[in-house]
Structure 1
Amino acid sequence: MNIKQAAEQSGVSSTNIRFYEKEGLMTPARNRGNAYRDYTAGDIRTLKLIRMLRMLDVPLPTIKAVLRGEQPLQQALQAQQTVLEQQAAQLAAAMQFCADLARQQPQADTLDVDACLTRMESPTPQQGFFSGWLQDYCTLARVQHQKHFFFIPQGSINTPQEFTAALQTYAEERGMQFALTKKGMYPEFSLDGIPYKAYRNPGKYRDEICCDTVHPEQLDTGLPSRREKLLRIARIVLPPVCVFAAIMAAGWAVTGGTDWLWLAALASGGVLLGRCFEKWL
């Protein structure tokens, strides 16, 4: 068959077929009558094998060694697997870097490019399993705080002016950029470019100001969905577990036994219910 037919049957373009021949990956027979290339079923299979390996990004020298029998196919595939795993790790790190940077809503004219390049060129050494989970837990906690947070201002909030002043004070104490977009007892504002709505929660002794982001769907952790789900569960479960352990440790130190077991169970149960209400309400 001619090169056009070979291209149709193998899925490899005529240009690439000629290139592979030039690189020595295959040498089709020549027609005795006109010296045109005459591709056989074996050539078609070779082209399909080359196409498959190129789809796996196997280098041409490696493919040539496999076709010539100089390197076993299994060995070549194992070596390529290692290369792809390294590339996948680099891509995962790049994706995480993009997600972290995007959450900061950077501007081209104010971005600390030197710090970014330093982080990219000298990445933090890969940490252990639990260290990775701890870092992701901190990321989730930070994003959740960006979506909803509250604070207790100095003094009561009775006027829109006092409300605005309390928000400005909160931003200044944390070095955040504050911009008021709507005055009132339900003000709207932005912190570091993230828009929020706020409301007052009156208390018996002190008022509390609660802030909710206007677009929570835009604040993404950048974590795999399964890991994020597990970390959300951990945020609910860990506080009562820590309370239980602390009370039991104190009870053991004081009485030398498990007399405080029921107290620890009740306290941790109360903390768990509180976290669940915080999650669902």
Structure 2
Amino acid sequence: MKIKEVETRTGLVRKNIRYYESEELLTPGREEGNRYRNYSEEDISRLLKIKLLRQLGIPIRDIREYFEGSLGLREIMARRRSQIDQELEQLRKMGQLCLRLEDEPELDPGNVEQCLKEISEEEKKGSLFQNIRRDWTNYNKELHETFIYIEAEGELLNPHDFARETAIYAQKHHMAYETVRLDQTYAIVKLEGIQYLASYTCIRFRFAKIPMVKLTRCKPPKERVSLGKFIFLSILPMLLIMGGIAFNILGNTYFPGHPHLYQFVPMACFVGSFFLVSSSRNIRYHD
């Protein structure tokens, strides 16, 4: 079955399913003659198990060990229940600290230092307050929900390089890849049948600049025409320009009484050809 049916039956989104595949929790078969995945009933059953375990907070590594047979269900649940007890104790201590601060009108420096000292002592005993180190991770996650950023393994000089890095990314994550078009400053590619615009970007992290390929999800061209019409639309601007020039030369030679008309028509032909080129840039023809 296709990925859309899998999403419907499991309630999981495509990105989650691809992530579990990249973590080797799931290995669907491939259809002969193409690279698209073909999911079985066994894959559906495994995805539902993964969904249940993840919603209970079971880590990916424990789920992998469970499927490999090196970790039993009883042990997984006992471990998770112990973690929940620890989390409840941590929440209780955090609640006590919040209760103390309710009676304070403002956060004065002395009180702040005392609270941070208590938190540090509790963390040394094993308690874990809010992990602020995850702030960057959460921001990065939000960023990737809108775009995909690929750290380049080679130079990024032209659209061929953007397409190459995207293909490497697709291979690493076991995704179907296709190059749609290479333009002067960007490439149009497909990952798992979804079209993206691949372009160059540079992300600053602390004091470093990291060159990356930015994939922006985009819609496929709305207009698709036959090969004959595509060729006609390609040469039409040139014909229009040549017609304007010919009209100017012939008009001034044989009918010299309308000089302004012979200037206006070629200019109109040039402007019209410019708009034709601009409007037909994204037109593709049927293979």
Tell me the TM-score normalised to structure 1 length: 0.41
Tell me the TM-score normalised to structure 2 length: 0.41
Task: Compare the two structures and name the one with the higher strand fraction.
Answer: 2
